[in-house]
Amino acid sequence: MRIALGIEYVGSGFSGWQVQQGERTVQGALEEALSRVAARSIRVTCAGRTDAGVHALGQVVHFDTDARRPVTAWTLGANSSLPADASVRWALEASDEFHARFSALSRTYRYVIYNAGVRSPLLAGRTWWRRRPLDVDIMQVAVRHLLGEHDFSSFRAAGCQARSPVRRVTEASVTRRGALVCVQITANAFLHHMVRNVAGTLAKVGTGEADPDWVGEVLDRKDRRRAGMTAPPDGLYFVSVDYGPLLPIPEPLHEGIPGGTA
């Protein structure tokens, strides 16, 4: 039997998604909790690995098991063992053709900037604090340069192991709700640090240090040195994955919090 799960977590206390010896990771905590429910070892496959400090509203995983349990047992049972900063939000039986990573048609990430003159301790670790005012309208003009299929080498981390830097961005927006500025991008796949590098670049446009068309120029150069800084992991959220009719999944609903629904 193949089971798909929707996972939510605050990444601040984890050393990223992937299991690492001697480190507290989301995958490690989840597999331990699920193994207790199944009474046997469980190994999970995720839609996309996240770095240390990165959060998730709609991470999706799958695993195969011969343990027969009610679907609710995978949520309630796992959550009884998971730490407070991670939770299984839903569970579904999936077909054998479903694969959390390879079946994904698109993924959506959101980067949240707290744009205010004074820092907020309540939002520390959940947002990137930027004191200088950001012009969201100008940032929205700039982010449109990323739409379509491009070589995103200018927004790729030096250690990125992807075979190709070409990605297809289908949606990209910059919005403001009070002091929170959200950069949201949907693409068929992402490069390592791609969204964080985009956020750092757009912030430079938002403060007036660069023209909106500069983002298009950076993209065309295919040179990471031309783009803005890598924004910290604190503001990055894995929002959702789209699998089409293969796996209709619930939408994450978190109105009014950083990373929540806009």
pLDDT in tens, 176-217: 999 999 999 999 999 999 999 999 999 999 999 999 999 999
Residue 20 has pLDDT above 80, yes or no: yes
The CA distance from 36 to 44, in Å, is: 14
Amino acid 61: pLDDT: 98
Question: Catalytic site residue 223?
Answer: no
Amino acid 193: pLDDT: 96
Which candidate in 51, 85, 135, 151 is catalytic? Answer: 51
Q: Output the average pLDDT for the chain.
A: 95
Amino acid 174: pLDDT: 98
Range 69-73, long-range pairs (CB < 8 A, 24+ positions): 69/37, 69/38, 71/3, 73/37
60-65 mean pLDDT: 97
What is the phi/psi pair of residue 166, to 5°? -85, 125
208-232 mean pLDDT: 95
- pLDDT bracket for residue 253 (50, 70, 90): low
pLDDT above 70 covers a percentage of the chain that reads: 97
pLDDT above 90 covers a percentage of the chain that reads: 93
Closest CA to 146 of 184, 176, 177: 184
The CA distance from 187 to 109, in Å, is: 9
The CA distance from 117 to 42, in Å, is: 47
**Global confidence as pTM:** 0.95
112-130 mean pLDDT: 97
Domains of the chain with CATH codes: 2-103 (3.30.70.580), 106-239 (3.30.70.660)
Both structure tokens of 28:
């490690």
Amino acid 252: pLDDT: 66
Both structure tokens of 27:
């995958």
Amino acid 92: pLDDT: 96
